[in-house]
Structure 1
Amino acid sequence: MSASGSPRGAGRYPGPVARFRQLPLRSRLAMLTAVAVAFAVALSAAACWLITRDRLTEQLDAQLSTVNVSDNYVQALSAYCNNPGRVRLQEPTPYTIQLVSAGGYVCTSPDKAPLPAQRADIAVADGRLDNTVHVTRDGNGAEMRVWTKPFPGPLTDTEGNRLAISVALPMRQVTDPLNQLALVLLVVAGVGVLGAATAGLWVARAGLKPVDRLTEAVEHVARTQDLAIRIPAEGDDEIARLSRSFNAMTAALASSRDLQQQLIADAGHELRTPLTSLRTNIDLLVRSEQSGRPIPAEDKQALLASVKAQMGELAALIGDLQELSRPTAPGQSAVAVVALHDVVGAALERARLRGPSLTFTADIAPWYVRAEPAGLERAVVNLLDNAVKFSPAGGSVEVRLSGGELTVRDHGPGIPQDELPHVFERFWRSPSARSLPGSGLGLSIVARTAEQAGGAVRLRSADVGGTEAVLTLPGAVTPPPAPPEEPPARPDGGG
């Protein structure tokens, strides 16, 4: 015994359930099928054996109950039992016939083993029972089926006790066929269970072929990182649904990986341009200092302004990338009730600073939405910045918020119809806007923020030149009531 009281080595060998779970799935299915069939066959065989036994016993009882023992034979048997040496019975019979007295005395036909009198036999003899049937063993140990009924005549034993007649036949008339039937049922059950196990193994192999293909596909993906593999899915069963789900999962993973690679490539391309310009300008400043040939003051100021602008562009690009990399799953961001009209008002103030030569007109009605405050503010700012960037000097920007629909309209060159489907793609920039500052991520952030808030955003060409951006968000004119605050708990834990 160990210190914990359990036998040393306990738990080293797995139990039968654990060993069963370690088997392959097809082996477990074959074993379960064999066990189920064996159980069903055993129940059927037992029911068949019991029904046959009852029918054979009923036939034997009916045969015993119809035996007509003549009065002469009974009187001769009684005389034989009283004087066995002087009286000889001439009537042969296949039955064991004996007389049972109310006192328990028995008189058995010659050449037959006596049957012990049972209480029920004595009860029939003294008139307490009409008849009885039971199983007993004779003097030779043979199992006998006994039918006892009262003797209607005036015959009594030497002591004057009334008599009953017992008629018996060997039980082997029932047990021998039952033993043969049990042997046949055992052989049939064994063959059935073996066949069921074989069929179960075959069915398991055939039924698990799609699972094997799925397993091979998963192992192939894990080994090679190849997400282009697809599994044929036929029908509407669970395996087909699993195959279609796997195909959809691999397609989504492949698309996600492609988007990730594209994002990395696009981000690298977008970062390379300002970094190259920064490096060039800084190299010029460094060589000027090392060579002792100073750059003219105006050129130096221009270089420093360019470096500052490129650093701001890098910071904006990195901020946009961080915004896009944030989780999009529900519940992973701080969602709150936000006054959209206040957000639009604050964004308008920032836009006026960035476009001092532009004229802004605003028609803002109250509207409250459930969204992430920082993300919503960034999305609205991006829409206004986009309008400021493409508006000509002295132009105007019209902002309107009504019924949860924010409309921002500029009077710039507009967007061609063939480019509208691409405006919300990451890093996509119109060929006519490649020279303007920006990372191509602003509208992507707007689209993602609108989707997270349950809304949508779209761009369309205005009637008379320019572009109109429409951001639709679900909400209400009045803020929803705040949930009631729970009262602070008392120090003693009471209510």
Structure 2
Amino acid sequence: MKLRTRFLIATSVIVFLTVSILSVAIYATVSKHLLSEVDNTLDARVVAIAESIRPRNNAAPGNRRQRNPLEEALLPIRFDTVTQVIDPRGNVVIALGQVDLPISNDVFEMVANPLAQRMRITTKIDGVPYRILSVPILRGGALQLGKDISDIESAKDGILLWLFVLGLLAIAASGSAGWFIARRTARPIQKLAAAAEHIAATRELTTTLDISGDAEIEQLATSFNTMLVALRLSREQQQQLVQDASHELRTPLTSLRANSELLERENLDTETKNLILRDIRAEVDELAALTGELSSLASDQRLIEQLQIVNLGEAVEEVVER
């Protein structure tokens, strides 16, 4: 897999995870806030009802017909809230609204326990979402308030849609930026690869890379140029070694040819022949030593040699004899 493709995938995955986490957090926060506003409204309704049914000092005379205080307190909220009052036996005695609020087992337990905690649930009634608050009544029974939250659910759906669209745009933008950055980063590496392929195909070591970019890319190009310089030096040394070896081999071979031609003469005495043969053996030994040195150089065996004192006079005499 190419570097650009890996960089693009990595960038897209990171942005996708980031956008997903942020979207979930935003959606959960907004949903909680909207439901909290509805709960505050229902709590305010409960407080208003409690204030309305509190006994007043200016009660009507006994001979005058009075309305049910709870019924009277529920009238102002019947237009925006569904209300139910459940008696201690679990029967609905008052119901205001177009739907019937569901009565769960927890609500039945609340009816028998005036000290129970209030409950909040979100449910659907005839396909319409409602937020329901159930609170106990001190003398037994329970009061249920339900509010249609269709507008809140629509708002949550709209937020979810916007988050999805923004997430896709963010991923697309990050992918494009990642592709551009990866392409810009990979371009010097591609040039380096093309130069390496050219050198491998042509054996041309005089190429010099001039690549600018990040510090790492420039360092890589500098290291590559240093390697090319070392290869050029190695080739020059090899050529010099071949020339030196050719020169060193030419002398003993010339001597061997001359000695062999002398041995072909018939008028040579025994002592002269022995001298010539001794000289030939010396030249053969020298060739063997030179061949061993060349083999060592060819195998790149680097021996650590001890420093020795050399008598220049003896070295000169050996050269003169040769």
Q: Which TM-score tier does this pair reach, normalised by the shorter chain?
A: 0.7 to 0.9
Is 1:76 equivalent to 2:71 in the alignment? yes
Is 1:29 equivalent to 2:24 in the alignment? no
Which deviations, in whole Å up to 9, do the C-alpha atoms of 1:415-474 show, x marking residues without a partner? xxxxxxxxxxxxxxxxx8994479xxxxxxxxxxxxxxxxxxxxxxxxxxxxxxxxxxxx
Closer/same/farther in 2, CA of residues 213 and 296 from structure 1, 3 Å limit: same
Q: Could you tell me how far 1:62 is from its partner in structure 2?
A: 0.8
Q: Could you tell me how far 1:246 is from its partner in structure 2?
A: 2.2
TM-score normalised by L of structure 2: 0.82
The corresponding residue for 1:193 is 171
Counterpart contact for 2:188–2:212, Cα < 8 Å: no
The corresponding residue for 2:117 is 130
Q: Could you tell me how far 1:113 is from its partner in structure 2?
A: 0.6
Counterpart contact for 2:189–2:217, Cα < 8 Å: yes
Counterpart contact for 2:132–2:146, Cα < 8 Å: yes
Aligned partner letter, 1:267: A
Q: Could you tell me how far 1:111 is from its partner in structure 2?
A: 4.2
Structural mapping, 1:25-104, within 5 Å? 25-67=3-45, 68-69=48-49, 70-71=52-53, 75-76=70-71, 92-104=78-90
Closer/same/farther in 2, CA of residues 267 and 74 from structure 1, 3 Å limit: farther
Q: Could you tell me how far 1:299 is from its partner in structure 2?
A: 4.6
3-state SS of the aligned residue for 1:189?
A: helix
Counterpart selection for 1:262 from 227, 237, 240: 240
Q: In structure 1, how many angstroms separate the alpha carbons of the residues matched to 2:205 and 2:317?
A: 36
Counterpart contact for 1:106–1:117, Cα < 8 Å: no
Counterpart contact for 1:99–1:106, Cα < 8 Å: yes
Q: Could you tell me how far 1:281 is from its partner in structure 2?
A: 2.2
Q: Which has the higher contact order (CA 8 A, sep 6+)?
A: 2
Is 1:151 equivalent to 2:137 in the alignment? yes
Closer/same/farther in 2, CA of residues 149 and 207 from structure 1, 3 Å limit: same
Is 1:391 equivalent to 2:313 in the alignment? yes
Q: Could you tell me how far 1:28 is from its partner in structure 2?
A: 2.0
3-state SS of the aligned residue for 1:99?
A: strand
Counterpart selection for 2:92 from 98, 102, 106: 106
Closer/same/farther in 2, CA of residues 145 and 236 from structure 1, 3 Å limit: closer
Point out the structure with the larger strand share: 1
Closer/same/farther in 2, CA of residues 264 and 104 from structure 1, 3 Å limit: farther
Q: In structure 2, how many angstroms separate the alpha carbons of the residues matched to 1:301 and 1:62?
A: 127
3-state SS of the aligned residue for 2:135?
A: strand
Counterpart contact for 1:73–1:91, Cα < 8 Å: no
Q: In structure 2, how many angstroms separate the alpha carbons of the residues matched to 1:208 and 1:192?
A: 24
TM-score normalised by L of structure 1: 0.55
Q: In structure 2, how many angstroms separate the alpha carbons of the residues matched to 1:215 and 1:97?
A: 78
Report how many residues are paired.
304
3-state SS of the aligned residue for 1:58?
A: helix
Q: In structure 1, how many angstroms separate the alpha carbons of the residues matched to 2:35 and 2:317?
A: 104
Point out the structure with the larger helix share: 2
3-state SS of the aligned residue for 1:104?
A: coil
- Cα RMSD of the aligned pairs, angstroms, is 3.1
Which deviations, in whole Å up to 9, do the C-alpha atoms of 1:159-178 show, x marking residues without a partner? xxx22211111232321111
Q: Could you tell me how far 1:269 is from its partner in structure 2?
A: 1.6
Closer/same/farther in 2, CA of residues 261 and 103 from structure 1, 3 Å limit: farther
Q: Could you tell me how far 1:235 is from its partner in structure 2?
A: 7.2
3-state SS of the aligned residue for 2:147?
A: strand
Counterpart selection for 1:304 from 261, 272, 277: 277
Q: In structure 1, how many angstroms separate the alpha carbons of the residues matched to 2:153 and 2:77?
A: 28
Segments of 5+ residues of structure 1 without an aligned counterpart are: 1-22, 81-88, 155-161, 330-371, 393-411, 413-431, 439-495
3-state SS of the aligned residue for 1:190?
A: helix
Q: Could you tell me how far 1:73 is from its partner in structure 2?
A: 7.0
Q: Could you tell me how far 1:258 is from its partner in structure 2?
A: 2.1
The corresponding residue for 1:454 is none
Counterpart contact for 1:105–1:117, Cα < 8 Å: no
Q: Could you tell me how far 1:219 is from its partner in structure 2?
A: 0.9
Closer/same/farther in 2, CA of residues 317 and 45 from structure 1, 3 Å limit: same
Q: In structure 2, how many angstroms separate the alpha carbons of the residues matched to 1:132 and 1:102?
A: 17
Which deviations, in whole Å up to 9, do the C-alpha atoms of 1:354-373 show, x marking residues without a partner? xxxxxxxxxxxxxxxxxx8x
The alignment-based identity, stated in percent, is: 27
Counterpart contact for 1:49–1:178, Cα < 8 Å: yes
Q: Could you tell me how far 1:245 is from its partner in structure 2?
A: 2.5
Counterpart contact for 1:221–1:227, Cα < 8 Å: yes
3-state SS of the aligned residue for 2:103?
A: coil
Segments of 5+ residues of structure 2 without an aligned counterpart are: 54-66
Q: In structure 1, how many angstroms separate the alpha carbons of the residues matched to 2:118 and 2:77?
A: 25
Q: Could you tell me how far 1:306 is from its partner in structure 2?
A: 2.8
Q: Could you tell me how far 1:75 is from its partner in structure 2?
A: 3.7
3-state SS of the aligned residue for 1:228?
A: coil
Closer/same/farther in 2, CA of residues 323 and 200 from structure 1, 3 Å limit: same
3-state SS of the aligned residue for 1:109?
A: strand
